[in-house]
Structure 1
């Protein structure tokens, strides 16, 4: 009887140990990734969600999820603090971070590496058609959304206002996310909003459906001067018809949205991530039209940080 009991306990213990080891191995085989994006009304969030879907469906053991954040500056700090593994952000903010410039002068980011340039991010200054605003100078004294605190939008708003001789002292600034800015424009609580995103931007489409809006136009000289001052800013055209009521082309400036990784991610993991993204573009495009710009031939355009070795390995392989 005692012998049987001992045998039972031994078998039970072995089973329990086997289950624990199996669970440990399973846990070790799962890779959890957080992708820092932006507000849910912008472009980063749906693109980040689509990337997570592609990774989960094409990389064994992958468990990736998109995280809504305050966008570029916030995402940079999340990478710096190793709170996320991947992030989408503007290439100018990435450059400032890795070079310890501007808002990162006291906190240089040394653990950010590049995966790919994604698409142009267009700086759109959206104004209510009845607000009496036809130029940057006309923003003086107006209620203007300048982006969420810690966002690339806010950095761009500050740069452009300063370039044209204005500051926050000259406007009634409001720090709002894309969704909040759209809501305030619709409710006529603000006169204009800075937005930096791929077009068409959901938040702008939402406003244009109920309000007469337009985008401020930059002259050729404005664009040339801005590019000379800020090399990341290049001229771009927002085609007529992009938004309801936009009946003519508008010239403005754009940056690049890039996908970055925390440097501690393994070479194999980042290789698999890069490969999955470029071999499953259809899934990305189905989620957002802007993903059409995610192409191998432009994957390094505007990349302002050193490539992760895993991404470099993939690009070397497909050359």
Structure 2
């Protein structure tokens, strides 16, 4: 009888300790803000949740959003959001506005820190198949969907237009539509151009009805156009490949690209710092799983932390962890004889009218 009771107590204690262990690993309930439901960012967030956060004992909830500018806002102020995906031109726009004296932009961006650069996102200039336009430099004066206010697409679209033509898109020509609504408006001839930022292959196009796909096409970069030389000040050449959309494209399409970054906050609470260190270790240790099982864009990510421009900073606890892990991986691969490739309506700011740039970065109405 006593033996039976002791065995029962032993089993009860085992269950209790197991429950406590599960509770301990479930204490870290974090959120990552990404992008639209059919964009690349949300898939990257799902990959990070499954292949990086889970092995590190972190429950990482993947949250859709309008895009990069909204992500900066939510990363800065929304409880539970510990990670965000942000385009490089959006991050730089905040830094530039902060450096020019915009206090709201400074409040927003200065406490944010980078974990690491990820991959390049292609910028798609979409027109109807019957459009006379062939190249990107022909969009001046057209009715254009530039993406939702708060999205990285809106930042990229308006910045590119300003660079190419030396002026902003006329207000009457700019439509702030979601990617899906922009394509629908394009097909029914309510707009002339839809600008979309997404890493290829983008689900927006791969999931699209084949009959509708045949009604649209992409504009190309003209390497000889003066507008192209001006755009090259900020953006980099890229290619939309036939292999990304084999049942649609007949040839590769030259375009522009923008870098995606994984971003966090300058946390100093011990538990948060510890959890993010474990996340960093898991990111490095499970990188091969990301490349093998995750979105194809992971194959473009390199395990490196390149130098940053003024106003950009890595998160030191994670930076140290990643650098150590990267070095260990490189040494291990070398010893094994491996040659694996390393792989921002009208607001007032300081008494002045809100600029278009500030509106896109969601700095208006504060």
Which TM class, normalised by the smaller chain length?
Answer: 0.7 to 0.9
Which residue of the partner structure matches residue 71 of structure 2?
75
1:1-319 matched pairs, under 5 angstroms: 26=23, 30-60=27-57, 62-83=58-79, 84-98=81-95, 100-101=97-98, 105-107=102-104, 108=106, 109-136=109-136, 138-140=138-140, 142-165=142-165, 167-169=168-170, 172-207=173-208, 209=210, 210-212=212-214, 213-221=216-224, 222-228=227-233, 230=234, 233-243=235-245, 244-264=247-267, 266-285=272-291, 286-297=293-304, 299-300=305-306, 305-318=312-325, 319=327
Asked whether the 8 Å contact 1:241–1:248 carries over to 2, the reply is: no
Rounded Cα–Cα distance in structure 2 between residues aligned with 1:158 and 1:269? 38
Task: Report the count of equivalent residues.
Answer: 293
Structure 2 spans left out of the alignment, 5+ residues: 1-15, 328-366
Question: Larger deviation: 89-98 or 114-123?
Answer: 89-98
Secondary structure of residue in 2 paired with 1:296? coil
Rounded Cα–Cα distance in structure 2 between residues aligned with 1:140 and 1:27? 57
Structure 1 spans left out of the alignment, 5+ residues: 1-18
Secondary structure of residue in 2 paired with 1:132? coil
Rounded Cα–Cα distance in structure 2 between residues aligned with 1:135 and 1:59? 47
1:264: Cα distance to partner? 1.3
Superposition RMSD in Å: 3.0
Rounded Cα–Cα distance in structure 2 between residues aligned with 1:103 and 1:85? 28
1:256: Cα distance to partner? 0.8
Rounded Cα–Cα distance in structure 2 between residues aligned with 1:268 and 1:104? 35
1:71: Cα distance to partner? 0.9
Rounded Cα–Cα distance in structure 1 between residues aligned with 2:92 and 2:317? 20
Rounded Cα–Cα distance in structure 1 between residues aligned with 2:239 and 2:307? 18
Question: Larger deviation: 282-291 or 29-38?
Answer: 282-291
TM-score (norm 2): 0.71
Secondary structure of residue in 2 paired with 1:149? coil
Which residue of the partner structure matches residue 12 of structure 1?
none
Rounded Cα–Cα distance in structure 2 between residues aligned with 1:103 and 1:34? 32
1:72: Cα distance to partner? 0.6
Asked whether the 8 Å contact 1:136–1:164 carries over to 2, the reply is: no
1:169: Cα distance to partner? 2.0
TM-score (norm 1): 0.80
1:224: Cα distance to partner? 3.7
